[in-house]
Amino acid sequence: MVTEHMSPGDQLARSSCPCYQGKDSDQNITPETIAAFKKYNITHIISANSRANDETIKKTLKDAGITYTPLPVEDFHAATQDDFRQAWEAFTQHRGRGRTMITALQMYAQHERGQLATWTQADYAQNHVEDPTQEEALDALQQRLRAEPLPEPTAEQRSALLAGNFDGINCIAVLTALMEALYISKKPKLRARADLGSRQATPAPSPTKFDCERAQHILQTENVPVTCEKIKNIQLGVAFSNDLWSGSWDDIGATLEGPAGKAILHVATQPERGSHTWAKVDMQASFKKDEIEVTGLDTITLNAAGIFNPPWRLGGNGQNDQWQVQDIQIRADCADPGFEAHDNKLVGLNAWYGHPGGWFTQKLATKTVATFRVVPGDWGFSPPCAMIKELAYAFDLSDKFYGGTNDALSFTIGEGKEIPLGASVSRGFHTDGKINLKEIFGKDEVDIRDLKELKIFDNYSGGNGDQWAYQGMTFTATCAKVSKKMAMKKYQSVNAWVEHKADTQAAWTGPIIASDWLEVA
C-alpha cells in the first residue's frame, strides 16, 4: 500500500501485473487475483502494462464489479503527460509503467492539496522508477503542475467553510488556493494580515482545523475593504412597527456578541409603536478595545423584561406582552476615516416577539426572545472599496448665455497628470471619458483615498481669458477586488462662473474625501 505523499482518506496500492514472469504477455487475472482485490477493498485498477487492453482482463474485472482504466505503456518507456492526466482523473473519480504512474499519482495528490514537493532522483529511486526517460517525464509533470493554478474552491466548499462545517473538506488545498488567488490579485490586505503570514499553507504538524479556520477567515473577509477590516463606534438600531399594538410594556434590551466579546445594550423602556432607537456600544467596556475585527460579531439577541414599578401605562406592574420589530440594523465607523460599515440584512423583518411571562417575579426576569446570526457576507461598506481599476469623468458647462469660453480647459484629480477637457467650447458643452490609470497615475489600480482634490485649469493661451459657466463634474469608478461601482457626485451642480487665474493656479478647486464616493447599481 502506498501512503507517503497521499491525502488522508486516499487509498493507493502498487503491484506488478498478476502472474507477471518478466514479459507483459504473462499477465493474467485469476479467481485468486479477484479474491485478493476484494480482500484489500481494491475497487479500481489502473494498468500501465503494454497489454492493458486485453479483452479477457477487461471482462473478468467488469464481471467482478471492479473499475478498470487501461493505459498501455511499453516496458522501459515513459508514460505521456496525457497518460498521467488520465490516470489522475480516473483515480480521483473512483478515488506505473506502474511505478512511474504511482509517482505521478503521488505528485497529483500533493498538488491537489497545495503541497507539491520537489521530487529528486532519490525520490524516484525510492519508488523504483526504472528508466531515465521515465524520470524526464516525471520532471516534466512536476513543471507542468507547478505552472497550473490550484482549482478554485467550489460553491459547496465555500458555503460549508463559511458555515463552519469543515467535514470532508481538504482545507490545506482550499487554503493554498485562496492564498494563491490573493497573491495573484496582489491584494494589499494580504500583506497587512500578520495571521496569514506567508503564502505557504499551515505546516503539517498544525491541526487541520487551523487550516480550515484560516480558509474560513479569508472567505469571510474577501469582500471587505482593507479600510474596514476593523470597525469602531458600533451601534445597534431597532425600529418598532407602526402597526397597532406594536409597542410594549416591557423593558427591551439586546446583545451583540461574537469572538470579540459581548456587548449588553438597553434598547428602550416601554417603546411606543413606530419608535426607533440606536443603542451605542461601549467598546472598552464590552471588548476592552476601541476597535474590533469586522468578523468579531456573529450574533444579535433581543431580550425583554417586565418592569416592577413602571411609568404609568395601561397594563400595570410586570405586564408582559408581544411587540413587533420592523427593522434591526448595525452600523459602525471603519477604522480608516471616511469609511462606514453597515449590516441591513434584518431591515424589513416585521416579526412579533414577546416575553414568555410567568408567575410573579418570573415576569420581571430578563428573557431572550430572539437570536439572529451576523454573517460577514451581510456587511456592506460605504464606500464599497478603496482600490479602483476603472475611473471615468463627465464635465458640463451651464447653458447660460455667454457660458462658453475661448480658453482651453483641463483638470487633474489627486496626483494624476493633467487631462484636457476641450478648447473654445460653447455654452452647454459636455464631455466625458475614461481615464487611463496607467498613463495618468502610473499604475493599474488607484486608491480613492489618494484622490484628495479636483482641480480645473483655464489656459487662456490663444483665448481671451473670459469667464465661463461651470455647471459641474462627476466621476464613476469600478472597484478592483469586488463587483461594485461607485460615483462621486459632490460637484455635480456647482453652477459657478469661473475664469483664468495665474498660470500655476487652478481656476477652480474642490476637495474630495473617501465618503464622497457612493455605491451605485
Other beta carbons less than 10 A from residue 214's beta carbon: 23
Is residue 423's pLDDT more than 80? yes
Going by CATH, does the domain composed of 230-382 fall within 2.30.30.220?
no
Mind giving me the DSSP string for 134-180? Answer: HHHHHHHHHHHHHHSPPPPPPHHHHHHHHTT--TT--HHHHHHHHHH
Nearest to 346 by CA among 463, 239, 506: 239
pLDDT in tens, 346-372: 999 999 999 998 887 888 999 999 999
pLDDT category at 432 given cuts 50, 70, 90 is: very high
Residues 6 or more apart in contact with residue 24 via CB below 8 angstroms: 17, 49, 50, 51, 75
Is residue 10's pLDDT more than 80? no
Is residue 184's pLDDT more than 50? no
216 and 162 Cβ atoms separated by less than 8 Å: yes
- Buried-exposed string 200-209: b where 16+ CB fall within 10 A, e elsewhere: ebbeeeeeee
pLDDT category at 170 given cuts 50, 70, 90 is: confident
pLDDT category at 91 given cuts 50, 70, 90 is: low
What are the cell numbers at 102?
504511482
88 and 108 Cβ atoms separated by less than 8 Å: yes
pLDDT in tens, 464-474: 678 999 999 99
**Per-residue DSSP letter, 42:** -
Is residue 247's pLDDT more than 90? yes
- Give the range with max mean pLDDT: 133-137, 203-207, 299-303, 504-508: 299-303
85 or 484: which carries more pLDDT confidence? Answer: 484
Helix, strand and coil percent figures for the chain, each rounded to 5:
25, 30, 40
What pLDDT is attached to residue 222? 75
Which class would CATH give 387-520?
mainly beta
pLDDT category at 204 given cuts 50, 70, 90 is: very low
- What one-letter code names the amino acid at 296? G
pLDDT category at 271 given cuts 50, 70, 90 is: very high
18 and 121 Cβ atoms separated by less than 8 Å: no
pLDDT in tens, 249-261: 999 999 999 999 9
pLDDT category at 76 given cuts 50, 70, 90 is: low
pLDDT in tens, 492-518: 999 999 999 876 789 999 999 999 999
Nearest to 380 by CA among 449, 294, 445, 299: 294
Mean pLDDT over 160-187 rounds to: 72
Mean pLDDT over 393-405 rounds to: 96
**Per-residue DSSP letter, 12:** B
Other beta carbons less than 10 A from residue 95's beta carbon: 12
pLDDT category at 162 given cuts 50, 70, 90 is: confident
pLDDT in tens, 207-221: 567 778 878 877 877
Quote the distance between the C-alpha of residue 231 and its chain's center.
18
pLDDT category at 198 given cuts 50, 70, 90 is: very low
Mean pLDDT over 147-174 rounds to: 80
Mean pLDDT over 169-193 rounds to: 59
Is residue 186's pLDDT more than 60? no
20 or 108: which carries more pLDDT confidence? Answer: 108
Average pLDDT, the chain: 83
Going by CATH, does the domain composed of 24-147 fall within 3.90.190.10?
yes
What pLDDT is attached to residue 130? 65
